[in-house]
Chains A and B, each alone.
Chain A
Amino acid sequence: MATLETFYEVMRRQGITRRSFLKYCSLTAAALGLGPEMVPQIAHAMETKPRTPVLWLHGLECTCCSESFIRSAHPLVKDVVLSMISLDYDDTLMASAGHHAEAILDEVMEKYKGNYILAVEGNPPLNQDGMSCIIGGKPFTDQLRKVARDAKAIISWGSCASFGCVQAARPNPTRATPVHEVITDKPIIKVPGCPPIAEVMTGVITYMLTFDRIPELDRQGRPKMFYSQRIHDKCYRRPHFDAGQFVESFDDEGARKGYCLYKVGCKGPTTYNACSTVRWNEGTSFPIQSGHGCIGCSEDGFWDKGSWYARQSDILQFGIEANADQIGTTAAIGVGSIIAAHAAVSALKRAQHKGDV
């Protein structure tokens, strides 16, 4: 790596004309929902700012985030990876392997100290000294801490890095821990989802590189532009919810009519994500559109908030699968029986001491 190249220089080097470059800036502005007056700003930023390297680490994960990412259509992932960012390390996507690959980490960390973005897919397991996830012969925890030290910001890709996801579900034997609980001194952008929507991933990264700042985050550290509303709030089946028209069981008449999936466990009302607006695979569809309820994959601890086919979540503390209403009804019947018995005894006692009181 020689001097720090700007985005524009990289694009020109790859044979992209200035005309195409400006078109690209307009498209980016449109993708981010910005007005046309922002296009010159984006162009200016890309002409003057050095390309920001991104180091993409993989901990305990299933690579579904990467799989989603490479399917981004707006912007195309090839534009993101080849033109916009300098994805200097991603052991899944990169050509080099072994020591060569690991050497890049040190090189970037030194050259761009405090100026690179760390993207984390998956999370570190802390039990057994981190031995449940080994990268290049060392625990992933060590690699994460080392690379995070000089990072400008950290992106937590997916529910694993953001909240823990399946490997952190009860009883979490490896003590898989979300990134923000291990790295506490860096700005962390959570992009939850299992996986997150491709356009959300590229949108977040494009925003950060274009404006050189992290997007506005909500209370849980998620970018507001994609996670400020629930699936339910923008669901196209919402009119059926308000009308009280529900799918009672899969394949019933309501299911065929496209009624609301609330009664068969849709987690749309408790899930913050952009599925009902951005949708998946170039806006083709999303789970509810295909007739299955949302499982709430972008929410904290969603694996432990089942069943995915009942509205109310199970309360596991009772050892059996029971929801709040079942527990409440049982308690009410119990108290009711006690009261009936108590009333009977009271009446007997009163009869015994008649006239006393």
Chain B
Amino acid sequence: MAPLDDAKPVATPEEEGTAAPAAGRFLKAIYVYEVPVRVWHWVNALAITVLSVTGYLIANPLPSQPGEASANFLMGYIRFVHFAAAYIFAIGFIGRLYWALVGNHHAKQLFRFPFWDRHWWGELFLEARWYLFLERKPKLYVGHNPLAQFSMFWAIAVGSVFMIVTGFALYSEGAGQGSWQDKLFGWVIPLFGQSMDVHTWHHLGMWAILLFVIVHVYAAVREDIMSRQSIISTMISGVRTFKDAEAPADEEHERPAKRGVRVG
């Protein structure tokens, strides 16, 4: 497996000109997430929120509305918002896939699962041990740490495909036979058995992504506070800043000897 982050020389704050050197502790700043990645991240986060809330309400509708049916369209609006957000989610995902092809190497990480890379697995377990309080210090990463990459790959890369495919299959039932949704995704219904099972799996998919979101937000906030690199602000500014002098683990080509070399 190719290294996730091929060697990028550490930029000093003066060179990069983006970090705040005034604090004194920020020794390095590296531009990690390009604009399309950051825009996608926040649009996607909003889409997932809207899709989850409306999706839940489609399965568990609000209390009945009073008055004539002709005067109400609540369920219709909720479903409309769900479908509109779903299109944004799906088109955003295609755009993000495209950016993985043309963007920097950090943009590709979401779609990579280096299954055959033993070194990667080693660092994944090291990261897991740090979360279990068995390691004193986590490694530093310019991009995602292996544990984060692992969960993002399954929950967001694979999870989005699953939700888009099952979602459009369900949508095709309303769009009708012969619609493009039916031609592209209609085969999913008999694959699962019948429509009911697709609904059930679509629900479970939502919960899987929501569990990821809970862990993701917690880990990001916690890392921002406790670890030695910026996390949340990075997804806003695109710049990863490091709070101490140690070189990130994924900075160089994977030569363990290089790690621990002090730069500052």
Contacts and interface: CB of A to CB of B under 8 A. Distances in A.
Q: A and B from one assembly?
A: yes
Interface of A: 218-220, 224, 228-230, 233, 239-246, 248, 254, 259, 262-263, 267, 269-272, 296, 299-302, 305, 311-313, 315, 323-325, 327-328, 331-332, 335-336, 339, 342-343, 345-346, 349-350, 357
15 contacts: A229-B176, A241-B75, A243-B65, A246-B64, A262-B61, A269-B173, A270-B196, A300-B194, A302-B194, A302-B196, A323-B200, A325-B60, A328-B204, A331-B211, A342-B131
Main secondary structure of the interface of B (DSSP, over half): helix
Interface of B: 56, 59-65, 69-76, 78, 131, 133, 137, 173-174, 176-177, 186-187, 189-190, 193-197, 199-200, 203-204, 206-207, 210-211, 214-215, 218, 222, 226-228, 244
A261 B204 CA distance: 24
Given A244-B74, A245-B65, A248-B64, A335 B228 contact: no
Given A219-B190, A228-B176, A241-B75, 6 more contacts: A233-B174, A243-B65, A244-B65, A313-B197, A328-B204, A349-B133
Contacts of B195: 230, 269-272, 299
A239 B71 CA distance: 10
The 3 closest A-B pairs by CB, nearest first: A328-B207, A244-B74, A324-B203
Contact of B69 (A245, A271, A331): A245
B151 to A, nearest CB: 12
B72 A335 contact: no
A220 B190 contact: yes
Nearest to B219: A339
Contacts of B78: 244
A348 B113 CA distance: 34
A227 to B, nearest CB: 10
B97 to A, nearest CB: 27
A305 B227 CA distance: 47
Contacts of A263: 61
Contacts of B189: 219
A269 B210 CA distance: 25
Given A219-B189, A243-B74, A328 B199 contact: no
B175 to A, nearest CB: 10
A343 B226 CA distance: 11
A272 B133 CA distance: 54
B62 A325 contact: no
A335 B196 contact: no
Contacts of B226: 346, 350, 357
Contact of B218 (A233, A300, A313, A339): A339
